Amino acid sequence: MTKSLTITLALAAVLSACNQPAQNPEQKAGETVAAPQLSYEQEKHLKNVKQLTNGGDNAEAYFSFDNKYLTFQSTYDGWGTACDQIFYMPIEGTNGQKPPMVSTGKGKTTCSYFMPGNQQIIYASTHLAADTCLSAPRVVNNKYVWAVHKEFDIFVADLQGKILAQLTDTPGYDAEATVAPDGSKIVFTSTRSGDLELWTMNLDGSDQRQVTKELGYDGGAFFTPDSKHLVFRASRPKTDDEVKTYKELLAQGLVQPTALEIFVCDLDGSNLRQVTSLGGANWAPFMHPSGSKILFSSNHKSESGRQFNIFAINTDGTGLEQITFDNVFDSFPMFTSDGKYLVFASNRNNGGTRDTNVFLAEWVD
């Protein structure tokens, strides 16, 4: 994602927390909306697009194992959240009602996912370290950065918000957990080895094993539909200056997410293969249930770097195709296990604000 400061600040605006609610007085937060303007003529793979949230910063919505619910993170004044907290809702939306909050309401959370059985949700939180939201710079030495808070650990809670287990307790960042379709394993990102690497563990937190070992930020991983491989995005600093900058920022609990490509590997890290070589920001990958192609978000076609859309690519790196055609930001695609529906986050239909909302569409092959 190496872009100018102007470009990277555009991404910061897209993903910034504590946004103002959308300026539509006739629509309540969380109300499901279906209207022609929610999709674009070129979006031939998307049908009957529906807006499931309205207001604030809502993202990383992922389906339950039975495809009936979505868990997601939200920062929204209307729901009393000063920074990201974890919620869940039926895929039909909540018709204007505040959805149940699963996280404690303390600290900052990220990256939630349903556990097998659909009655528990895994997520990362800093609430053990502080009741309030943690802060971090967005720009360091004219470089846009993300925070990797060492206070993050991974927890499992029931749908009433009761924490049932803490799965990680090692020093450093532990977050970005997702669960294998067969319910056998969890993959997550950790700094416990000194770098941001992928790790796997059992559902109870046992048998934690390092997957990746090359310098760079390996994260945002999902299992492939057969649960035998991982698809993820990674940075790979190569030059002396890139390596120096990466290490210096990581020592401060920061990363510069400005050069990311999509990779796949086996669960033990073998057969590591780079799928994209597009330049810019290629991230948030998820594999189609057929196992034949990967959807991901990218700004590689944007001259300014400000536009992020969802693309599809074959697993061998061929057949690149643009899926969404939004003017600002589309990301975090995920399919239902049967491939009938796609959920994603977008800035479309936000009344000109910076709001990011959750959208659901029928998928057309």
Model-level pTM?
0.91
Which residue in 257, 208, 187 sits closest to 14, CA to CA? 257
* Mean pLDDT value across residues 189-212: 98
Q: How many whole angstroms separate alpha carbon 6 and alpha carbon 245?
A: 19
pLDDT tens-digit readout, 226-273: 999 999 999 999 999 999 999 999 999 999 988 999 999 999 999 999
Q: What domains can be seen in the chain, in order of their start residue?
A: 16-231+327-363 (2.120.10)
Q: How many whole angstroms separate alpha carbon 69 and alpha carbon 89?
A: 6
Q: What is the DSSP letter of 30?
A: T
Q: 72-78: long-range contacts (C-beta < 8 A, 24 or more apart)?
A: 72/112, 72/358, 73/109, 73/110, 73/111, 73/112, 73/123, 75/17, 75/18, 75/19, 76/21, 76/29, 77/18, 77/20, 77/21, 78/21, 78/29
Q: How many whole angstroms separate alpha carbon 286 and alpha carbon 231?
A: 7
Residue 5, exposed/middle/buried by CB under 10 A (0-12, 13-18, 19+)? middle
Q: Are 84 and 75 in contact (CB under 8 A)?
A: yes
Mean pLDDT score of the chain: 91
Q: Which two tokens stand for residue 58?
A: 């809502």
Considering only residues 143 and 54, tell me which one the structure prediction assigns the higher pLDDT: 54
Confidence class for position 172, pLDDT limits 50, 70, 90: very high
Per the listing, tokens 């993820």 go with: 232
Confidence class for position 336, pLDDT limits 50, 70, 90: very high
Pair type for strands 197-201 and 209-210: antiparallel
Q: What is the pLDDT of residue 95?
A: 87
What is the identity of the amino acid at 287? M
Q: How many whole angstroms separate alpha carbon 173 and alpha carbon 153?
A: 7
Confidence class for position 303, pLDDT limits 50, 70, 90: confident
Listed in sequence order, the residues at least 6 apart from 316 whose beta carbon sits closer than 8 Å to its beta carbon are: 275
Per the listing, tokens 């210096």 go with: 248
Is the pLDDT reported for residue 304 higher than 90? no
Q: How many whole angstroms separate alpha carbon 104 and alpha carbon 263?
A: 34
Q: How many whole angstroms separate alpha carbon 3 and alpha carbon 23?
A: 31
Q: Are 83 and 56 in contact (CB under 8 A)?
A: no
Q: How many whole angstroms separate alpha carbon 30 and alpha carbon 358?
A: 9
Q: Are 163 and 121 in contact (CB under 8 A)?
A: no
